[in-house]
Amino acid sequence: MTTKKIATPKRTQEILKKYGFSFKKSLGQNFLIDVNILENIIKEVGIDKSTLAIEIGPGIGALTEQLALHADQVIAYEIDQRLLPILEDTLKEYENVQVVHQDILDANVDEIIKNHLKPDQPVHVVANLPYYITTPILTKLLRDKLPVTSFTVMIQKEVAERMAAKPNNKSYGSLTIAVQYYTNAEVLMNVPKSVFMPQPNVDSSVLRLTTRDEPPVQVNDEDYFFSIVQACFAQRRKTLRNNLVRYFNDTYDKEMISVILERIGIDGTRRGESLNMQEFALLANAFHQAAEK
């Protein structure tokens, strides 16, 4: 088996030159050229020969190669048709890799996992995600409630901080709640822009999202819960009460909103970023019950 690993500047340039490949800015293509980082990710995730690995956006196969070396099976989703012949070449020695030419946002990932899954096999999603579409991809995968143990993704540092944030932090917001409702979020490492080709304008982080067996709170209606959370962060500098008055508009007046807040013991002069998930659940359930009456 070849010892010339893909994730080096020299080998990456050789592959790009061979195929005359040019980066598409619209697809947010930044290829990793540091093998050590990839090996650290594999180690942190705990990928081994019992693992089914799902990758999104394999590019020329830098991470895919490392996954193939350590995992039982690898399924990689690639949207850019120009990369298919390159992947066929760079990954030809690995029989345990299947490349699917499809936009992950349109894919039935649950079905493909079930078609490949062996009994008691852990599934890990590992990806170097394009910055411009990180949130839609992760939101879709989390809401699909896939049989996945963890999602480990290389994303923009600022977005990773938002997903892993705690209350009373400027990074804490509706995205934090959405991600942490489904997973435990942890930033594993920060990654400089210099390990990518071409170099992006921002630094990256590797974020691990470990799937929860159950959400940390009980809510009457998930969609309603998330919409209330978003409403509370609509204008960050405004109080909880003012954001809720704006959100409910004609449904409840300020007085009724104050009554409900008082009933559940939440001070309406607080800001959204000061509430923990339990308090958001309490808030959403109270307004949901009021709407049911």
List all residues 6 or more positions away from 223 whose beta carbon is below 8 Å from its beta carbon. Answer: none
| The predicted structure's pLDDT at residue 27 | 76
CATH class for the domain made up of 222-292 = mainly alpha
List per-residue pLDDT tens for the chain, 293 residues long: 445 799 999 999 999 999 999 888 777 789 999 999 999 999 999 999 999 999 999 999 999 999 999 999 999 999 999 999 999 999 999 999 999 999 999 999 999 999 999 999 999 999 999 888 999 999 999 999 999 999 999 999 999 999 999 999 999 999 999 999 999 999 999 999 999 999 998 999 999 999 999 999 999 999 999 999 999 999 999 999 999 999 998 888 899 999 999 999 999 999 999 999 999 999 999 999 988 87
pTM of the model: 0.93
| Res 3: pLDDT | 54
Q: What are phi and psi of 207, to 5 degrees?
A: -110, 130
Q: Which CATH superfamily is domain 9-211 in?
A: Vaccinia Virus protein VP39 (3.40.50.150)
Say whether 265 counts as a known binding-site residue: no
Cα–Cα separations (whole angstroms), residue 82 to 7, 66, 86, 118, 136? 19, 22, 8, 32, 23
30 is in an annotated binding site: yes
The response to whether 220 counts as a known ligand-binding position is no
CA distances 26 to 130, 132, 204, Å, are 10, 9, 19
168 marked as binding residue: no
pLDDT for 155 equals: 96
Look at residue 173 in the predicted model and tell me its pLDDT: 97
105 has binding-site annotation? no
Domain boundaries, the chain: 9-211, 222-292
Q: What is the pLDDT of residue 26?
A: 72
* Residue 158 assigned as binding residue: no
